[in-house]
Amino acid sequence: MPMVTARPIVATAGAAVLGAAAVIARSPDQRATIALALITLVVCTLRARTRPHLIRVAVALALVCGALLAWTANAREVTIAQTRMARFSATVLDVERDDAAGTTVELSLDSGLRVLATTRIRPLPGERVIVRGKLEPFDDPRNPGEPSERDLMRERGLDARIAHAQIVALVARATPSTLERLRIFAHDAIVARLPQPDASVLMGELWGERADLPPNLHAAFMRTGTIHILVTAGLHVGVIAWLATVLFRRLPLPRASACAVTALLVWAFVCVSGLHLPSVRAATMATYALTARAFGRTALSWNALAFAAIVVVCVRPLDVTGASFALSFSCVGAILICAKPLERGIRERFSMPDRVREAVVLTVATQVGTWPLTAAIFLQWTPYAVIGNLCVVPVVGATMLLGIGQIALNALPFVAQALANVNDWLLTWITSSVTFIAALPGASIPMTPAPSWCIAAYDASLVAALALGRRAAYTPMLALLIVCASLIVAPPRGGGAALRITALDVGQADAIVVRTPLGHTLLIDAGGRLERGADGGSSAEAIGERIVVPFLLRQGIHRLDAIVLSHPHGDHAGGVAPVMRAMPVALFDDGGQRYSGAAYRDALATANGDSIRIEHPRGGDVLHTDDGVTLKFIGPQDPLLTNTRNDINENSIAFLLVYRHFRMLFTGDAGAAAEQRFLALHLDLHADVLKVGHHGSSYSSTPAFIAAVHPADAIISVGRDNMFGHPAPSTLETLERFGARVYRTDKNGAVTITTDGTTHQIQTMF
């Protein structure tokens, strides 16, 4: 039976993906890009000359089926409505990572849900535990531009989290499944003979486990664009398929039988590695390719990629708008589009061995095709990614094969150790190469993510440029690529002559971004968390790294005119050093109080190391921008307050932000003593918006102070279910008594104020 030509299968796959994406697309940008793609698909389908009726019927059915599958899957999603602390019986599936917050584990509850929990006890995979905590859904975006945590976790097969988790009982280890026993055996066999971090790198290659990978090495893999080797995907599936193919060639098996057994081995590897979307895509393509090979057809083709897309839509339709789907399929698509022209061009101009040329072609093709996506997803461009991948990717297959041999021959200690010793050299080469390249100047360039239509335009330009290259039209080819690449490097952003103030949701902390009409940017505090002991910097700084810096980059902010740190506690100072390391900062306004917290000391050291100007504003000082925004500082006043409930809080930097007729008051964590001093000085405190002091605690926002400010709107930056009971009922009652509308980051997510200087509007995420 002749195989169907590529066009019907590819068109059908595209229609199925677009049908599913149209149902679940979240952002206006995504919806606009999908609409444009649908129009393009319809036009191409109507213009089809080969089997036009077959293609039109297939496309129409695929659109409807894709939409129905996504709608049905969306309706079936588990709704978590747990509101109280409860106990759950669970089996530990995996240990993800250890950090200052505790050990993050993946659990399978007896109810069938798969959840994440962070605990102080490190259980073992396969262990039965009783966990106490609050079952919560993963978050939708809580800050502008953030990806959906719920979507990201759904791609990993996770349904919810257990907040405030405590393991209250360790039950006797349950009888592990065959898969669990295999992973435990493989883990023990590797760590017994390989040192760290080589063992973690190998386990990442084989089944995606990298819990013990040092954070600095993980960052180095990110900075060199080689993190994909630690996520089981096409490269790893290809190694397994190649190994099986070589093995079965030496056995007296018919080709069809050998291909069938190879496909079974590939899927067994994918199951062991955790059924991640890239490995599912790669295994589906490998199955198609093996089937084609069994019948004497072309293995790697657009048909194989299209077939894999159809399978993903059928099995996991909600994943088609995710980052993993986009990266996985664009990587293979880039190889199919670019590999042959690149191979031909390199062969004509350079003399090199076939294997070396193949490695160069595949590396360059994938980087050319995927760098806009990786820049948008990881908020960075890695210029040395081609070099990094050329150094490590050719070695990955050998390390995997040696690792499999080490596990399989574990019963022969001498042989297993010999394999481990050889593998240790190769794994050391990988880690050394990645570490060296990551340390080069400009190894990672922060990027603002381009809208999806810009990425689509780049992809279309790549196809058009290759067509122009075949006609030797090199000048228009280069011009087209440069124009479309510039949309990625400097993506268009909507402007406007308005002042925007965004109170980010950073949990039980403060971080506020002020963007002036002409694009000046001020950061008022930078998130974090209260530090426990002298070594709390890393945990306090994590919020800045994960929320504040990404928000700034997504908004197109690559430079700060000033950071104003209200006071040095870790829940305000935590993100200061990460922000300073991520982008230039012209001015650091600090209250100048003496404090030993690790995050604050790191902020001062970073500012001094980068020669950032440090000032200590006092009441009466003024900071102007050239577009009419003024910061009028009202505190702290000299001499600083002493012998108060908390001197650090009471001497917070406080100021009025004034733009034309609009006024907003910031008081950090200042409490009743500071408020009484402001009132005693007879300052003009009235404001349209108040950033409520000290997260709405009962120690601030006294009735007399709120009466003097008399805000129309009040914003409280506060964490969900925080241990302090913030905001205090008395504070909420006082604000409501004076007519203020209250917005809370724990309930509303990020809060954005937009004003033209006369009127203001407030927008929240929820």
Rounded CA separation 454/527 (Å): 32
How would you classify the pairing of strands 613-615 and 511-515?
A: unpaired
Name the more confident of 290 and 633. 633
Name the more confident of 531 and 523. 523
Percentage above 70 pLDDT, the chain: 95
Q: How confident is the model at residue 140 (pLDDT cuts 50, 70, 90)?
A: confident
Q: How confident is the model at residue 26 (pLDDT cuts 50, 70, 90)?
A: confident
pLDDT over 50 (residue 6)? no
Q: How confident is the model at residue 1 (pLDDT cuts 50, 70, 90)?
A: very low
**pLDDT for 2:** 36
Q: How confident is the model at residue 176 (pLDDT cuts 50, 70, 90)?
A: low
Q: b/e per residue, 426-463, with b = 16+ CB within 10 A?
A: bbeebbebbbebbeeeebbebbbbbbbbbbbbbbebbe
Q: Give me the sign of the Cα torsion angle 168, 169, 173, 174.
A: negative
**pLDDT for 336:** 86
Q: How confident is the model at residue 102 (pLDDT cuts 50, 70, 90)?
A: confident
Name the more confident of 364 and 568. 568
Per mean pLDDT, which of 119-123, 388-392, 596-600, 734-738 is the most reliable?
734-738
Angle at 660 between CA 658 and CA 666, to 5 degrees: 15
Q: Which of 32-36, 328-332, 668-672, 710-714 has the lowest mean pLDDT?
A: 328-332
Q: How confident is the model at residue 83 (pLDDT cuts 50, 70, 90)?
A: low
**pLDDT for 532:** 62
Q: Which of 256-260, 337-341, 397-401, 529-533 has the lowest mean pLDDT?
A: 529-533
Mean pLDDT for 95-101 is 71
**pLDDT for 561:** 97
The structure tokens listed for 131 are 């966990």
Max intra-chain CA distance, the chain: 96
Contact 295, 254 (CB under 8 A): no
pLDDT tens across 182-233, in order? 877 888 899 999 999 999 999 888 877 776 788 889 889 988 988 888 887 7
Q: What are the backbone angles phi and psi of residue 136, rounded to the nearest 5°?
A: -130, 150
**pLDDT for 5:** 41
Using alpha carbons, list the distances in angstroms from residue 516 to 447, 558, 718: 21, 15, 25
**pLDDT for 182:** 80
Q: Which 3 state secondary structure label does DSSP give 727?
A: coil
pTM for the model: 0.88
Name the more confident of 210 and 717. 717
Give the H/E segment covering residue 488. Answer: helix 474-489
pLDDT over 90 (residue 670)? yes
Mean pLDDT for 274-293 is 79
As to burial, measured by CB atoms within 10 angstroms (0-12 exposed, 13-18 middle, 19+ buried), residue 415 is middle
**pLDDT for 417:** 94
Q: Which of 102-106, 122-126, 170-174, 747-751 has the lowest mean pLDDT?
A: 170-174
The structure tokens listed for 423 are 């593998």
Alpha helix positions (H), 25-83: 28-46, 52-76
**pLDDT for 759:** 95
Cis peptide upstream of residue 636 (ω within 30 degrees of 0): yes
pLDDT tens across 430-488, in order? 999 999 999 999 899 999 999 888 998 898 888 888 888 888 788 888 888 888 889 89
Q: Which of 129-133, 520-524, 687-691 has the lowest mean pLDDT?
A: 129-133
Name the more confident of 249 and 462. 462
Report how far apart the first and last C-alpha atoms of the chain are (Å, whole number): 56
103 CB-near residues (< 8 Å, 6+ apart): 95, 97, 118, 119, 120, 121, 122, 123
Contact 272, 207 (CB under 8 A): yes
**pLDDT for 262:** 85
